[in-house]
Structure 1
Amino acid sequence: MNNKFDALKDDDSGDHDQNEDSGSPKECEKEESDEEDKEQNTAKKKTVVPGAGEHPLQYNYTFWYSRRTPGRPASSQSYEQNIKQIGSFASVEQFWRFYSHMIRPGDLTGHSDFHLFKEGIKPMWEDDANKSGGKWIIRLRKGLASRCWENLILAMLGEQFMVGEEICGAVVSVRFQEDIISIWNKTASDQATTSRIRDTLRRVLNLPPNTIMEYKTHTDSIKAWEDFHGLVNASGGR
């Protein structure tokens, strides 16, 4: 398998910029043809399959990584551009090939996130699979993120939550004072499902009874984000 972790080394610029020079008609046609070829190649790459003799997972998954400078104004577009896709996998063996080479969350610095989502679902509130859903959030003291993240994603890949197709993905967010893990599901209004996810989360993470767990709908997250940035813009900056 090729090393796909070079995505972590990319800077935050240029991935989505287009050259404004239009060029000659022939050049334009060639560029359009090249773009079509790229899109077709990308579509081919997106579908991963288990190798011979490997143990298939029920769903394919994709690892993502993001990092940003705290305090820098963010937008939905800049957030999407800042997410780096590490790679997708379809089997237990393919998962371990990625995971064994990845930095553990506890060793990350700054304002960093790992995302593990079903293939085809972007780790964004606005994604069609996420927009009617929400997430369970657990804030962790420093030193617990690596163990909790591993337990969470192994439980997710092993279908321990027993909620059918409801699980979309999971996120670990490394911050300066604390770390945060969350698991996202499709239907925020389904209380039976969200309760089952909460109870399974407590069990697989072996959380103390007094651990605070918060469920937040993505609709509320979007509204809070818009309200905050509205206040920031109204104040003339940060």
Structure 2
Amino acid sequence: MVVEDTQKPTITDNQITTNLNTTNDHADLEEGEILDDADDSSVASKTHSAAVARNPLENSWTFWFDSPSAKAKQAAWGSSIRNIYTFSTIQEFWGVYNNINNPSKLALGADFYCFKHKIEPKWEDPICANGGKWTVSFFRLKLDTSWLYTLLAMIGEQFDHGDEICGAVVNVRKQQDKISIWTKNASNEAAQMSIGKQWKEFLDCNETISFIFHEDAKKLDRAAKATYTIYPV
């Protein structure tokens, strides 16, 4: 996978959407392209629009965010999660990604999600209800790269069972950070194992990763045991 080496602006978790108003103006620019304010050619504009239209994603995706301060005030679990931005082209993705903080810069306790459009990152969502999640724990040094590789694999439809994927979440925590991929049908063992194995390959991960049913997590919380496990080779 190719990763853009772009300097990110400094944004706190409470300001995660600060620069997104400008994203809409520049999301359609190709990588390395410079916006020429002096160029008012309608022909050039139409040509560029046509070029952009050739880079749609197979699915639209939505970023969601839950800050620790908002979670502390929430009346019910999940009520503080807020919709940040929906994108449907690779240009829009980079426009958003380059204007928000990397996970390692977010406050402890923050959760950042990227889910298929119209799927809410909650157990109660009908599409997520019968699913589960693969989880990998990271030390802060590898968090940002692993999160980016996860996003690129998802939106680029690199998984053989991509239709099973709902989205991914990164949890910023004190001891170890976590990234999870949520799926639709937890009982489909073949699909879940395929997703887990491919994810490990994309991340070049040598750690053990586990899959937990959402239903078990709801009932048992941290006592929930893994249903599927993939060990280091």
TM-score, normalized by length of structure 1?
A: 0.69
Check whether the contact 2:70–2:80 (CA below 8 A) recurs between aligned residues.
no
Q: Which runs of 5+ in 1 are unaligned?
A: 11-50, 229-238
1:108-165 deviation line (CA, Å, top 9, x unaligned): 1210011000000000011001000100011112221101000001000111111141
Q: Percent identity?
A: 33
1:64 is aligned to 64
Q: Which of 145, 153, 156 is equivalent to 1:155?
A: 153
1:161-204 deviation line (CA, Å, top 9, x unaligned): 11141110000000011100000110000011001001111110
Counterparts of 1:131-210 in structure 2 under 5 Å?
Answer: 131-208=129-206
Distance 1:106 1:190, change over 3 A: same
Give the counterpart letter for 2:63 in structure 1: F
Check whether the contact 1:68–1:82 (CA below 8 A) recurs between aligned residues.
no
- Cα distance between partner residues in 2 of 1:6 and 1:70: 14
Q: Which of 87, 94, 97 is equivalent to 2:95?
A: 97
Count of residue pairs brought into register by the alignment:
180
- Cα distance between partner residues in 2 of 1:186 and 1:87: 22
Check whether the contact 2:12–2:101 (CA below 8 A) recurs between aligned residues.
no
Find the residue that maps to 1:148 and give its secondary structure: helix
Q: Which of 211, 217, 220 is equivalent to 1:215?
A: 211
Query: CA offset at residue 69 of structure 1?
Result: 5.0
Runs ≥4 in structure 1, deviation > 6 angstroms? none
1:121 is aligned to 119
- Cα distance between partner residues in 2 of 1:221 and 1:120: 23
- Cα distance between partner residues in 2 of 1:227 and 1:106: 27
- Cα distance between partner residues in 1 of 2:169 and 2:184: 15
- Cα distance between partner residues in 1 of 2:71 and 2:12: 26
- Cα distance between partner residues in 1 of 2:106 and 2:154: 22
Of structures 1 and 2, the larger Rg is shown by 1
- Cα distance between partner residues in 2 of 1:117 and 1:214: 20
- Cα distance between partner residues in 1 of 2:139 and 2:208: 12
Check whether the contact 2:13–2:107 (CA below 8 A) recurs between aligned residues.
no
- Cα distance between partner residues in 2 of 1:164 and 1:105: 24
- The root-mean-square deviation of aligned C-alpha atoms, in Å, is 2.7
Find the residue that maps to 2:141 and give its secondary structure: coil
Query: CA offset at residue 105 of structure 1?
Result: 0.6
Q: Which of 78, 81, 95 is equivalent to 1:80?
A: 78
Find the residue that maps to 2:154 and give its secondary structure: helix
